[in-house]
Structure formats: C-alpha cells, structure tokens
Structure 1
C-alpha cells in the first residue's frame, strides 16, 4: 500500500457542508492501490462507561464509495449527517494484503481508541455551505460582445463606424453594435433557449472591447443610455432571462480621470495612491514604472487596499445591482485583486441581492476564492482545455480526457461544481468551429458534452450558427443576421440540447456524476436513487459497440432522450452501437 499518496484534510474540497446539512467527506488514494475504504466516525463527546469503569468512545463504521479515478489517484467519498453536527473521523484502508488506519496524526496498524488522533470537523453549520444561487444551476448562458452582436440604433454609432460585417474585425474598428440591437433579437435568443446573458463590459471606454473603463457609472454612449439598459433588463426578466455584467476592478483605462490627474500632476496628485506607482516621474516605455494589466501602459492597476479606491469600486458594484437589478457580476482578472477586497465586495452586493451570482475570471486552481466568502464560481477553463485537446487538437486519448476531467471534478466541492461556468469559446479564444478545423461533427459532440455536463454552460455569440474566426480580433466578428448564413443543423442541435437540459433534472446539476470509460468512448453517468442518465460520445472514426449496465437494483426502461424513443424495457443491461463521431443520451429508470 502506497501511503505516500493517501491524502485528506478536513476542509475545502475534502470535507464540506452541503446546503441540507449533510457533510461530504472525500479521501484520495493511489490509483488501483486500495480496494476498500471504511469511514470510522463518531461524535467527539459520545462515550460509554463499561462494567469495569472504563470509558469507550462510541464510533460507527460505514463504507466509502469509489467516486472517481484520474491518471494518478482514486477518489473515495461518503455523505454523512452527524446527529449532533460534530464529527471525529478516520479511514480504514484495505488492500489485497493489508489494512491501515489513517487519521490526523498519521498511519497506524488499527483504529485507535483515543479520538484526539482523529480528523475533526468541529460543527456542521449550514451557513458554511458553499452553494451557488439555485437559479444558476438551471441557467444556460449566452455571451454577448456588444459591439459585434447587432446594431439597433445608427444614431449612437461612434465616428468612423463601418457598415455591418463589411470588413474583418480589428483591434480598432467599430461596427456599431449596441443595446437596442440586443433588445431587437431577444426573440432569437429565447427561441434558442438560453436564459442568461453575459455581457462583456458596457461602461464608458475608448476601445471596442471596453476593458479600459473611463467611467464605471455610465453606459458607453455607443451602446445607448441607462434608460435603454433598464429596458433591456426589464425585457429580459419578463422572459425569464438573467443578466450578468463584466466588472474590470483590477485596472482602469488610460483615460480614467483619476489616472489622467496623476499623469498631469505627478506626485502632487490626490489620486497618486489609487494606483501602484513605483516612482515619479511616470515612465511608460519600454515598460511602465507603475503596475498594469500585463505590461499594458494603458491599463493601470488599481490599489484596492486604498480606502478611497475600495469605496469607489464597492459603490460601483452596489450601483448596478440596486438601480438596474442585474443578476450577476463577472469579475475580470480576479486573481490579481486582493482577497480582502473580494470579501468586502461580496458582502456589499449580496446585502442588496442575496442570490446575485459572483463569477471570477481565474484560469487556474481557484479554491482560495471559493470558500463561501468571495466568489460563487469561476470560469472553468480546465474544462475548455480538455475539450479542445480531445476534439480539436486531438492530443489526448479518450481515457486521458476522462482522467483529466475527473481531476477537475475533485478540485472543488460538489456544491461548487454545480455552478462552475463551463465554456468552449469566448472573446479571448479562437472560435470553436475554427479550432475544430470546421469539422461540424466534432463541434456537435463538443456541444453535446457542454450542455449535459454539471455546471452552468455558456455559448459564445455566433458559435451556435457556425461563426468562424481565429484568435482575437478574429473571434469578434459581427453576428450575421441573414438566416441563410446560419448553420441550421448546428443551431437546431444546440437548441434541442438546451431544451433537453431544461426537461431532464439530472442534466441540470441534480444528482451525482461519475466518468466511465467504455470501449474507447467518453462517457459519464449522472444518477440518483431512482434514475440514471448516461451521456456517451464516440470521438473516433469507427463505430463502437458497447454493453451498458444499469446501476439500479431493478430492471429498467432504457430511452434515447434526443430521439425520444424507447430502446429497451425491463432490462438491467443493453447493447448499443454508436456510429463514428456520434453520441447518445440515454435515461434509465
């Protein structure tokens, strides 16, 4: 038994409280090293005196479930509900040749009597549950880059605006997209089935992307007015569509008035401590002598520990929630802002709207931001990376893909996974159809996965109709509104998947999940005690035949959910042929 690989800590993704008061416990062991794990646990104060006057700690033993396997480790889990909300616990690890007891103080030959050696979860407080707002679990997002979605009002076009889609996008050109254009196409979005809109920045700025904010309290004039935005919010809410805005609190734009004051007045500026300026006079070339986003001199970094800066940005966060009833904030470059600022930001906005969704842009392991005091969720870029590596770049095998995806699942508590923001393309990445060499079968498989997987999925505008484009600025083309230019096959496929996700609770973050490798397919099983849903995708150029077995204890009905037809009744297993580059979604109940 390789005990060096055994790991647990009584916090974060290894021990966490669920909203209903349950406690989820996870243990990591070496892959294929241990064939059974038992949890040994009890209330720390529950002791019984025997006839000889000796005190014995009362503990119980329960089997843990093998919940996932990646390339290096097995993950075991169990859900318990301590009757008095407290728990001391350890693990009995059993292999073919030995058993070892693992607890907070180390490894022993057998379970110990003194519970002071055991892991401690001092109290299960439901207020500590890291659950996402319930509405997020049932939301399918649609990301809009406002300058390129639709031009609804030519009167607010900036100077030099080009005719819609008359040229390739560049870092500096404008085509006149605005908020009225979005309002005009809400019927289209409702028909597609999305029920959440995520806008890249809409505040006053000089660029076409608006990540260089000049005024955080004003809508950019090229997008419209506050009245237009209020109308957009109202129209969305009438249709059951939520709205999330993009906040750039890491840095301002070059023409942000306080930074302009610093450029003008130097060390005498009253705003000099709003930014991280290392010395005066200010120098911008070859590299700025003040902190910036990357090394871009036109995006100076805020000093969010400065009380005036903090108050200003917190007021921004409150303003758009209170005055316009937005439903979420997406936080740009969130990992470069200090944790204390985000704690205060969460308190400020949640006091106004408790079910507001707070989403951080973080590209790496994000557990430090997901402990219930900062963000509800983060953008799930590891999901995107693995999807592209398998379907587009074809650099990993089906098995490696599933192992990688399992690793990502166990990075965070299951409660967080329900709200992870899953994406396959955005304004920062090449178009998914372009990434796949314009192979439609690959793209359809990707969306099948995206729209059935745990989390809250997001579609980048135009991906649903086969828009192409390389890295920024190529991925920021104008949305074509001539339906003859739309790939209707892809649109209808995505539309049907969204509809299915809304109808089938197990596809919308209800129940548990486990990746399962079957004959070269990629697949996962989502399940509860009464029902299972299996999602199977064949990424290969050959047909695959697979024998599927139900985990239910009774004979069941097998149904193809996309085709809406019964495949087999009263059976615990079924043989399925999945053609090359195809997929199937099966319910078992």
Structure 2
C-alpha cells in the first residue's frame, strides 16, 4: 500500500509525482493529488506551462478512494528539455481553488494563483562525466600555493614590472597606490613545479581533481585579467611544466581543471593592448585591429563595456564568430589546445554572463577533444532557474554545464553553524535535489571557501562587529584563542557536512591548514608550509580518507530526518544495504537522539555504539560535535 501524503499534493513524494525531481524529455511524468473527501471536489485539472509559453490543461481522472481522501491522477510527457511549471485547480461548491507550491514542496490551497511547482526537464542522452563528483577536489590559487624557487622578475613580450615578495609569509599588498588604485600586481612566486612537488601531499588527502584559478599570462596576481590565453604566465612556469604536471598527476589518478575567463580579457593584453606592451595591434590601438570587433566601444578607444565597470577588464562580445573560433571552434583554439596538453576540463568564470549558445558551443568542442571533458560554471544561486540579464538560462537541459559551484550549500552550512536551523539547511538542499538533474546534483563542486569569499575559519569565528573593523585592522586580524577554538570546532562540522553531501568536496587551499582571512586579498594569503594547524590538517586527512573509501558517500541516496531538534542536523546516505547516518550538533549543549540500528561505528573516531535493547541505539551527541555513523542491522 502506497504512503499517502498528509497534504493534497507533495512534489517530493513518489505517491504524488514520478519520477522524483527533474525528468527526462520524452518520458511520461505521472501526477496524483489527494483532496479530502469532505471538500466535495467535482473536478481537478493539472496545468503545465513551458517557461514563457501558454499553459495547457490536463484533466485529472478520479481513481477511487485513498483512505479519507480521493485520488486524482494525470500524466504529462515533456516533449523536449527546458523549464516547466505546473499547478492544480479544482472545483468545489464554494468555487474554484488553486493548489500552489508551499514550503517544502507541499501544496498550499489558495483562492487565487500562487507559486508554481518547478519541473526541470533534461535531455536523457546527455550524461555529465561522473569522475568529478566522485572524487575530492583541491582548489589552487597558483601564485600563493607553493614555489620551487625564489621569484625572478620575468621578461618578454607583454610582461609588466611586478612587485615580488621575497618573504613567503608577507601580507599581500592591499592599500591603494598614489593614484587610488589597488593594482594587484604583487606576486609571491608560486609555480607549477611547486604544485608538482606537492603531489604526495595531494595524495595524502585522496585528491582526484586539481582545480586551478587562472594560470595564463596576465598583469594581475589573480590572473582574471587574461593577457595571453595561449601562454602560461612565465612566473608560474611554461608549457612543458604544465604538461609534466598533468602527466605526473594522471599517474596518481588525478586530473587538472582550468579556469576559463572568457567574458572579459585584460586591459593589458595581447587583444586589447591598452598599455601597448604587446607587439600585436590591439583593439585599443586601432580600429583595424583583428581584435577590435571582439569589444564593444561606445566611443573608441577609451569608452567601452567592462566587467562591473572595472576598466582593466574590458568585456568581449561572446557572440562574435571570430572570438568563438579563437576560444573553442578552431583546432588550435584555447579550449581544445589546453585539453590536448593535459587538462581534463574547464571552470567557466561568471558563467551567467556567457550566452547559452557560447557555453553550448564550448561544451561541444571540449567533448570532441575529450569525450569525458568537464565544463563547470560559476553560478552563485540555484542554477536550474537562473535568470541573467532578463533571460532564463538553460544550463541543465543537456549540452551546457556538467556542474556548478555549489554556493547555496556553502551559504546553508555557514547559516546553520552560525545559529540557523537544521530544517532550513535541509530545505535548501532538498530544493536543489528536486530542481537539478540527478547526474548534476551528484557532480556539484561543493565548497565552503573560494578566492571570492572570506576564509571559512574566519567566518565561523568572528563576531558581527569584527566585520566593521578598518581595512588595516582586518588585514592583520587573527582570531583570539577562545574564538579560534570555537571556529575550529565549527570548521570540523562544516567539513563533515561538505564531505557527506553528494558531489565533489572541494578544499580551498589552506583551509585544511587553518588559514584565516577576511575578504580579498586577505583570503588569498600563501599556504603556510611548516606552520599548518596540525589538528585541523589531521582531521581533514581522516575525513578525506573516509570519503574516498565510501561508495555510500560517493553514490548513495540522500534522506533528511529533521524536526527533532533545530540544532541537530540529521541525514542518511544509503547504497544497497549500506547505511551511513550523519549527526551534526551545532549547539553548545549535548543532544540525545535515537538511531535505528543494532550496532554503529563512528567512521571519524572508530567509536562503537551498541544496542542495549530491541528499540535501537540511544546516542548522545556532544556539543559542537559530528558523528558519521556506519549502521548495521535494524531494531524491531
């Protein structure tokens, strides 16, 4: 007998909707609704609207009684990939009613139109590469991770004079110059060979993907102002260094993913050549430049579109055929070339500012070069229904993005650990799980820190008033001992959640070593080799080991169990007969809870829990503690 929901319709119940969540195009989606008999319903209708089109009505048949409820059903077969919306109407003696989307996927009966339910439809023939989501990722900010030599002022075409730090532990330059600009042209000299020398370190963390922030020649230390897409920044090394790194990493089962900054170039670049450092004829120098049509000038040469109005980041017209050929269509295009040289995929910077056809074309080119190439997008919100520049995006229909950066997970983790409820965290994740195709949900880049965010340890330790400190104060700020201990406990909880969600847990370099820092550039300080927080690092190593060795955490189903206690986050990962229950207690008081098992083993500490009677195991979760319980057997 199927389990009937307690409301008229629940979008996450298989009794109401099959399949769960996103649906493949061309396959029937079945809907069932269960109004109470005393409502006296005479007719029910399912309404389906393809995004931006006219809604269509699907009369629902009465299928009989279901306890104290009637059962009505209808089906809809989405003809093609895209975003669809649905809702229900029914007639009563008191007039028509609307069944709209309420909290948690539950139906809300209203007198007028309310929020609609979302149905994401994808192309079933398109399968994102699974290797990414199944492994652990390490995010490297190239200039600040590791150097194999003292930095030397590079020379050559396009190279601007650079400020070189001899001391690896210096603060990055953060004050404006005499013209009021922060140039970001101070370098610490991290190199590709430095990364190569740390492959043993990555192996100790069971890393399977090395994701690099930009590595191409650029004026700035962050290198998001690309100067030459086809040249490794000489301070980092050269093309041979890159090939060697990819080759040696592959021998250890690791892949390399590059950052593709294709929405804008650098002002100081081969293409725009605003400072005339390149031998090429740039768009800023002549309207006859082959690169001039790439840019949009309102008044040549000094008035042009730029990313967020930053003059050093002139925007390109991604629909320009020549630009597309250069980036991904030509045999020696940027995307294809670096894949051939050893990369396994691309992360697209500001993906919501790249047109859908540009992303789709890039994806095709990448897959032609390497069938299992990965294309990840930087999207900060729910990417399934994202609207950018008044246009609905088609990221997950098939053939665009294989994954996105999971900022909603980061936000939900930090909100929960800073006093939010377990229910709110679960709702955030369940919304994504319902809206994303399963292959995408299990392929997400799960982050708690990036080069664009303050360090996780800092966010979890500072007081609200600390964010109001002056820039000089924030530059030198270190958490006091009591706050540091609190932050470390919370960081462990954050990492447990991150590593037990479907998708690739992604470590931002130095987070695992206890690095602190507010906003850019304080979140981009060098990796503290030899001065790591050994306690945090040991915890990460153990957590990485658990995640790498567990097929259940890699591929298992996810089910939340909330409502018992706002401070206790509880969920299960299951695969076949294997069952792992995750218990996270963010409060400063212990929490007691029951576990339906005869025996349980905490995978983090190897602590054992036995059933004292047939009712299961009673577990006390200490304050600010997480258990990762491998469970065996079931209580009566």
Regarding TM over 0.5, the answer is yes
What pairs up with 1:448-459 in 2 under 5 angstroms? Answer: 448-459=496-507
Alignment counterpart, residue 361 of structure 1, candidates 347, 361, 378 = 378
What pairs up with 1:375-454 in 2 under 5 angstroms? Answer: 375-392=401-418, 394=419, 396-437=420-461, 438=484, 439-454=487-502
Which residue in the other structure is 1:8 paired with?
A: none
d(CA) in 2 for partners of 1:332 and 1:389? 25
The answer (yes or no) to whether the contact 1:406–1:515 under 8 Å persists in 2 is no
* 1:294 shift after superposition: 0.9
Structure 1-normalised TM-score? 0.79
The answer (yes or no) to whether the contact 2:32–2:74 under 8 Å persists in 1 is no
1:320 aligns with 2:338: yes
Which residue in the other structure is 2:129 paired with?
A: 133
Alignment counterpart, residue 296 of structure 2, candidates 276, 285, 291 = 276
Which residue in the other structure is 1:57 paired with?
A: none
1:257 aligns with 2:273: no
Which residue in the other structure is 1:516 paired with?
A: 562
Unaligned runs of 5+ in 1: 1-28, 39-62, 67-75, 284-288, 551-555
Deviates more, 1:196-205 or 1:168-177: 168-177
Secondary structure in 2 matching 1:257 = coil
Secondary structure in 2 matching 1:495 = helix
Which residue in the other structure is 1:34 paired with?
A: 8
Secondary structure in 2 matching 1:451 = helix
Secondary structure in 1 matching 2:62 = coil
What pairs up with 1:508-587 in 2 under 5 angstroms? Answer: 508-520=554-566, 521-549=568-596, 556-568=598-610, 573-587=616-630
1:480 aligns with 2:532: no
Secondary structure in 1 matching 2:545 = helix
Which residue in the other structure is 2:77 paired with?
A: 120
* 1:295 shift after superposition: 0.7
Structure 1 residues 572, 306: closer, same or farther in 2, change over 3 A? farther
What pairs up with 1:176-325 in 2 under 5 angstroms? Answer: 176-260=189-273, 261=281, 264-277=284-297, 279-283=298-302, 289-314=303-328, 315-322=333-340, 324-325=341-342
d(CA) in 2 for partners of 1:303 and 1:36? 44
The answer (yes or no) to whether the contact 2:61–2:74 under 8 Å persists in 1 is no
Alignment counterpart, residue 163 of structure 1, candidates 152, 166, 169 = 166
List per-residue Cα deviations over 1:87-142 (Å, max 9, x = no partner): 36432334575577553425657259xx9974124599996255431211321111
1:372 aligns with 2:418: no
d(CA) in 1 for partners of 2:509 and 2:199? 13
1:341 aligns with 2:358: yes
d(CA) in 2 for partners of 1:210 and 1:177? 13
1:501 aligns with 2:552: no
d(CA) in 2 for partners of 1:344 and 1:37? 34
Secondary structure in 1 matching 2:446 = strand
List per-residue Cα deviations over 1:503-559 (Å, max 9, x = no partner): 221111333433534333012112244232111100001000012236xxxxx5433
List per-residue Cα deviations over 1:392-425 (Å, max 9, x = no partner): 4x3x223322223322332312221100111000
The answer (yes or no) to whether the contact 1:519–1:545 under 8 Å persists in 2 is no
The answer (yes or no) to whether the contact 1:358–1:375 under 8 Å persists in 2 is yes
Number of residues paired by the alignment? 506
d(CA) in 1 for partners of 2:506 and 2:307? 25
The answer (yes or no) to whether the contact 1:101–1:111 under 8 Å persists in 2 is no
* 1:369 shift after superposition: 0.8
The answer (yes or no) to whether the contact 1:89–1:103 under 8 Å persists in 2 is no
Secondary structure in 1 matching 2:589 = coil
Structure 1 residues 117, 399: closer, same or farther in 2, change over 3 A? closer
The answer (yes or no) to whether the contact 1:93–1:102 under 8 Å persists in 2 is no
The answer (yes or no) to whether the contact 1:36–1:94 under 8 Å persists in 2 is no
Alignment counterpart, residue 93 of structure 1, candidates 19, 29, 34 = 34
Secondary structure in 1 matching 2:202 = helix
Deviates more, 1:445-454 or 1:263-272: 263-272
Structure 1 residues 532, 131: closer, same or farther in 2, change over 3 A? farther
* 1:457 shift after superposition: 1.2
Unaligned runs of 5+ in 2: 48-56, 65-71, 82-120, 155-161, 174-183, 274-280, 385-393, 462-483
Secondary structure in 2 matching 1:347 = helix
d(CA) in 2 for partners of 1:540 and 1:254? 49
Structure 1 residues 88, 321: closer, same or farther in 2, change over 3 A? closer
The answer (yes or no) to whether the contact 2:599–2:617 under 8 Å persists in 1 is no
1:64 aligns with 2:14: yes
d(CA) in 2 for partners of 1:416 and 1:442? 28
RMSD, matched Cα: 3.0
Secondary structure in 2 matching 1:259 = coil
d(CA) in 2 for partners of 1:101 and 1:166? 68
1:149 aligns with 2:153: no
Structure 1 residues 401, 86: closer, same or farther in 2, change over 3 A? closer
